[in-house]
Amino acid sequence: MLDDQKNAGPSKIKDYVANRIMHAREDIIQTHEENLFAWNTAFVDQMNGLFDIVGTVTGSTTDAGCPTFAKGTPAAVSPTYNISTFGGISRSDYSWWRPKNVKGLNAEVNLRNDMNTLYNTVSQNLSAPNFIICDQDLYEYYQEESMDKLQHVRSAFNQTASDLGFESCTFKGKPMSWTSMLAGTDKLFMLNLDWIELVYDPSYFFDMTEWFTTSSQLERVAYILSAMQLIDSQPRRHGLLDYNTTTYA
């Protein structure tokens, strides 16, 4: 109420509203990026994350080898690539429902070779990954090792990533980026986005609730709702390069 009162002028209110919308947009982007690198047992009402689609070899709690979030549940173990259940199908019963995993050693020296191995293991000369994302350390190792060979290709993804504030380069012509949500995990995802889809309910997507007031206070709160689920129909078309001994024994 006090903010409204201070910004009640005909010119100020436009700046006030635009500023609030900008901050809401940035918060939504960061929140969904955080959700993307969790898993559906870690948070309350969590959508599937990339660790649900591409599990680790041994599984791990949120404080060892997998992302750590303030709102995470420490007891929630990340899915394992060969015994977890995804989409109601058991990976222990059906090997064709498993992603690919490659264990890496000494990323400073072997990263590019390990990436080649994972890329070929996933593609099998049939369907290659078309997007790569990793932690900052692995991204910088790749840049340092390939500085004189980096390809600067402008694509729709590069432009969108740039608009959202994400840096990207390419590997075998495929966009590659990094995220702070994977900090300290020593992990690199290779994904084929042709098989991944974010399904959402248009009636409850970025929909704002009514304003709620608190007794004897001037603050008002509204919530932004997003009802959605991340689905995948070909887990074998994705892979995880893991340099963390906690999740790759």
3 state SS of 112: helix
How many domains is the chain built from? Answer: 1
Q: Is residue 249 part of a domain?
A: no
pLDDT of residue 19 exceeding 90, the answer is no
Q: Is residue 172 part of a domain?
A: yes
Compute CA distances 110 → 115, 141, 148, 170, 182, whole Å. Answer: 9, 10, 17, 18, 20
Q: How confident is the model at residue 46 (pLDDT cuts 50, 70, 90)?
A: confident
pLDDT of residue 114 exceeding 80, the answer is yes
Range of the domain at 61: 2-242
In angstroms, rounded to a whole number, what is the distance separating the alpha carbons of residues 39 and 54?
Answer: 10
- If we measure between CA atoms, which residue out of 136, 247, 120, 248 comes closest to residue 190? 120
Q: Is residue 87 part of a domain?
A: yes
Q: Is residue 248 part of a domain?
A: no
pTM: 0.83
The model's pLDDT over 147-193, given as tens digits with 9 standing for 90+, comes to 655 555 555 555 555 555 556 788 998 989 999 999 989 999 999 99
pLDDT of residue 122: 96
In angstroms, rounded to a whole number, what is the distance separating the alpha carbons of residues 5 and 220?
Answer: 14
Whether the CB-CB separation of 246 and 61 falls below 8 Å is answered with no
Higher-confidence residue of 215 and 107: namely 107
Find all residues with CB under 8 Å of 207, minimum gap 6, and list them: 224, 225, 226
The model's pLDDT over 184-216, given as tens digits with 9 standing for 90+, comes to 899 999 999 999 999 999 988 888 889 888 888
Q: Is residue 170 part of a domain?
A: yes
Residue type, 107: A
Whether the CB-CB separation of 227 and 204 falls below 8 Å is answered with yes
Q: Is residue 247 part of a domain?
A: no
Higher-confidence residue of 134 and 46: namely 134
Q: Is residue 129 part of a domain?
A: yes
Q: Is residue 152 part of a domain?
A: yes
